[in-house]
Structure 1
Amino acid sequence: MLDASTGVSRALREAPPDRVVEAAGRAIRSALCATNTVVFVADYRINGLWPVLDSRQPEAGAEVDQSVLQRCFSSQRPVQETDDRGRCRLYLPVSVWGERLGVLMVELPDVPGDEVVRRAADIAGEVALALRAADRETDRYRRARRRERLSMAAELQWELLPGRSVSHDTFHLAGQLEPAYTVGGDHFDWSLDDDRLTATVLNGDGIGLAAALLTAVTVNAMRNARRSGGSLVEQAELASDTVYYQHRGHRHVATVLLELDCVTGRVRAVDAGSPHVIRLRGTAVSRVPLEQQLPLGMFAETRYDLQEFELEPGDRLFVVSDGVWAADPSGREGYGERAMARAMRATRLQPPPEAVGTVMRELQAFHADADLRDDAVMVCLDWRGSAGREEA
């Protein structure tokens, strides 16, 4: 048998990017004596998990219970199903760096022992890493993720994202855009460097493609400053000047920039206009008191002040755009008045990727499942504290 840690990795590295799934299947069948394998990926709304099918064999892997896939995906733990003949289906989370991509199903001739399950889980991690890298070189996995056609604006927004989740010894971060297939100007971005997490949430002015283009310029201006070693303030000021000199104050981007010190839990912030920062501490939900400054791009050479606040181990931060906070279908009170806090409290035992889904589903229910009138972006950050890191 192939050694799981070398043979599968080699097969994935040598495979063309659009054939990673097939290479993984061949290697897994050899390494684990499996009879079949299927890779499922989560869609943009994270409403389901869908097989990455070979176009030459469209029927392969289509008959799988979504509830079992969702159980594996949500718990991030292996799940087993055994039929009356003793054959087993093993479901494994396909995740890397905290990013949940999907589920790997492995069919085995009999019930696996703990060592086989461990090896299979390691292989699923290798598959996740390969898929993450291959995604830049082929459209195949993007096609599997979309259940309907993306608008041009949404295509830009999803391509601009760093991912949907990232994990670290001291924090776990996740975000979601809605409406997933037509989102315009709302966006989030993050980067982890030298025990410092920088996260931004943006609410671009306008709708559709114009809003998406405005947000893309703003995000890349902040990235340019950040990658050149610029501080949080310098990131905000470069982005503001860039937007202003493009639009002369007629367009602007409401933004909050956060920088978390992963060792101390101290957060530096620049609040440029809108997205709301909400803290869940125990069962208490409260807004983090930040002084709102001018949105990016309103005036030439706007200067921004830095603010700071502390996180305690176990704290959860939600950052939400006005599309979440101020949603008021049918003239009722805004979602942020009371309903949002109830939804946030309900997520206490869920990890951030599940938490953003819960609050977004409650937002959809608040709209009686009608399409959202406005773009909505949500980011959830759990601060674990540095003690767990020291023990690891």
Structure 2
Amino acid sequence: MADAPTGVSRALREAPPDRVVEAADRAIRSVLGASGTVVFVADYRISGLWPVLDSRQPGAGDQALAHRCFSSQQPVRESDEDGRCRLFLPVSVWGERLGVLMVELPEAPGDEMVRRATDIAGEVALALRAADRETDRYRRARRRERLSMAAELQWELLPGRSVSHGAFHLAGQLEPAYTVGGDHFDWSLDDNRLTVTVLNGDGVGLAAALLTAVAVNAMRNARRSGGSLVEQAELASDTVYYQHRGHRHVATVLLELDCDTGRVRAVDAGSPHVMRVRGGTVSRVELEQQLPLGMFAETRYDLQEFDLDPGDRLFVVSDGVWGADPTGRESYGERAMARSMRATRLQPPTEAVGTVMRELQAFHADVDLRDEAVVVCLDWRGPAGWADQ
């Protein structure tokens, strides 16, 4: 048993990328004495969990337990009258929730068995994350309908859907997931600095997605070359301008969090809105709004700064969230959005983004969104280790 994670790791490394799930099943049966396994992956809306192997269709009870595990990110176990046990484990890596691993055991496991099985689920998460670059199998399992060409491009651009660090927890969501066009988010953690961007590409469909892709990659190019936040905005603006001569633009907000201090640097280049939840109060972070990227040649941007206190939560939302007014009433951002954000205070960011999106859908009376929507949620815990001091 002591070599259980090592044995599974070796099996996963040696498996072809499109056979990671089968390799995991064989290895887990061998090292844990399991009678079977099921790997569930979350769909693009994070509204369901689906088995990678179509032949292993679990019942409604197993689905409910898998969802409980996915939401809580804690092991969940249930035994039947014969003593057999189903153990559900989060398949997550670096804070990104990929799915759930169900392990069927002949008897209820002890705490040590659960700990080792949890480690194995983490190994499966790493393998799936790596294999996803080499095969379409897991992407097919995640999608419940065909993506538009624009959405295909946008999902390929994403860095992930959540990430954790000792100082912060971050998550984002795009809607409508299967047809999103120009709205997008990006992030990167480097040298204890977290860079987050939220973009509102001009137009609709594939043209908007292509415009956003140019802006995202221009900002990445500057960032990966050591450029500051201002340099990232200016390179992206010039790149978009010289492609479209001012006829197309990308509204963007760029944030850089110093994970040692909680100091945030910002460039506000358009419409995405930054909201801070402190205690029970939701307030807008007032930033000087500058020109969207690409409107004019050689546009220059100014840096602004603000501080976060440990326990603060930031939401960054696109105009499709803030300005939604499906029935001619006041916009969603006037009051309803703040209520939905306050309702998330006991939820982690991975759940909070879904809550705000569901409330937005309810605001639309459950009809399709008229505009695309991005919600990004950042929890600032304080410098790494602050909570333990």
TM range (shorter): over 0.9
SS, match of residue 357 in structure 1:
helix
The corresponding residue for 1:104 is 101
Q: Residues 13-92 of structure 1: matches in 2 within 5 Å?
A: 13-53=13-53, 58-65=54-61, 66-92=63-89
Letter in 2 for 1:331: G
> Aligned equivalents of 1:284 and 1:302: distance in 2?
35
Letter in 1 for 2:23: A
The corresponding residue for 2:147 is 150
> Aligned equivalents of 1:215 and 1:372: distance in 2?
20
Shift of 1:62: 3.4
> Aligned equivalents of 1:21 and 1:391: distance in 2?
37
Deviations 1:157-190 (A, max 9, x none): 0000000000000000000000000000000000
In the alignment, which of 208, 221, 225 is matched to residue 224 of structure 1? 221
Shift of 1:196: 0.2
> Percentage identity across aligned positions?
85
SS, match of residue 4 in structure 2:
coil
> Aligned equivalents of 2:255 and 2:327: distance in 1?
34
> Aligned equivalents of 1:320 and 1:2: distance in 2?
47
Shift of 1:5: 2.4
The corresponding residue for 1:265 is 262
TM-score (norm 1): 0.97
Q: Residues 264-283 of structure 1: matches in 2 within 5 Å?
A: 264-283=261-280
Shift of 1:391: 4.3
SS, match of residue 5 in structure 1:
helix
Verify the 8 A CA contact 1:2 1:8 in the aligned structure 2: no
Deviations 1:262-291 (A, max 9, x none): 000000000001100000000000000100
Is 2:241 the partner of 1:248? no
Deviations 1:330-374 (A, max 9, x none): 111110011000000000010000000000000001101100000
Letter in 1 for 2:19: R
Letter in 1 for 2:264: V
The corresponding residue for 1:317 is 314
> Aligned equivalents of 1:140 and 1:268: distance in 2?
40
Q: Residues 273-352 of structure 1: matches in 2 within 5 Å?
A: 273-352=270-349
In the alignment, which of 190, 195, 208 is matched to residue 193 of structure 1? 190
> Aligned equivalents of 2:4 and 2:287: distance in 1?
50
Verify the 8 A CA contact 2:166 2:384 in the aligned structure 1: no
> Aligned equivalents of 2:4 and 2:268: distance in 1?
48
Verify the 8 A CA contact 2:185 2:196 in the aligned structure 1: yes
In the alignment, which of 111, 129, 137 is matched to residue 140 of structure 1? 137
SS, match of residue 41 in structure 1:
strand
Go from structure 1 to structure 2 and tell me whether the alpha carbon gap of 1:387 and 1:131 turns closer, same or farther (over 3 Å shift).
closer
Go from structure 1 to structure 2 and tell me whether the alpha carbon gap of 1:344 and 1:209 turns closer, same or farther (over 3 Å shift).
same
> Aligned equivalents of 1:9 and 1:389: distance in 2?
33
Verify the 8 A CA contact 1:2 1:30 in the aligned structure 2: no
Shift of 1:59: 2.5
> Aligned equivalents of 1:111 and 1:359: distance in 2?
38
Go from structure 1 to structure 2 and tell me whether the alpha carbon gap of 1:318 and 1:390 turns closer, same or farther (over 3 Å shift).
closer
> Aligned equivalents of 1:6 and 1:80: distance in 2?
24
SS, match of residue 327 in structure 2:
helix
The corresponding residue for 2:157 is 160
> Aligned equivalents of 1:59 and 1:204: distance in 2?
41
> Aligned equivalents of 1:61 and 1:14: distance in 2?
27
> Aligned equivalents of 1:246 and 1:308: distance in 2?
31
Shift of 1:388: 2.4
> Aligned equivalents of 1:154 and 1:389: distance in 2?
39
SS, match of residue 103 in structure 1:
strand
Go from structure 1 to structure 2 and tell me whether the alpha carbon gap of 1:321 and 1:299 turns closer, same or farther (over 3 Å shift).
same
Is 2:364 the partner of 1:367? yes
Letter in 2 for 1:119: R
> Aligned equivalents of 1:372 and 1:365: distance in 2?
10
Shift of 1:4: 1.5
Count of aligned pairs between the two proteins: 388
> Aligned equivalents of 1:298 and 1:115: distance in 2?
59
Deviations 1:272-321 (A, max 9, x none): 01100000000000000100000000000000000000000000000000
> Aligned equivalents of 1:387 and 1:187: distance in 2?
28
> Aligned equivalents of 2:104 and 2:384: distance in 1?
40
Letter in 1 for 2:179: T
The corresponding residue for 2:234 is 237
TM-score (norm 2): 0.98
Shift of 1:124: 0.3
SS, match of residue 182 in structure 1:
coil
> Aligned equivalents of 1:123 and 1:279: distance in 2?
37
Verify the 8 A CA contact 1:40 1:104 in the aligned structure 2: yes
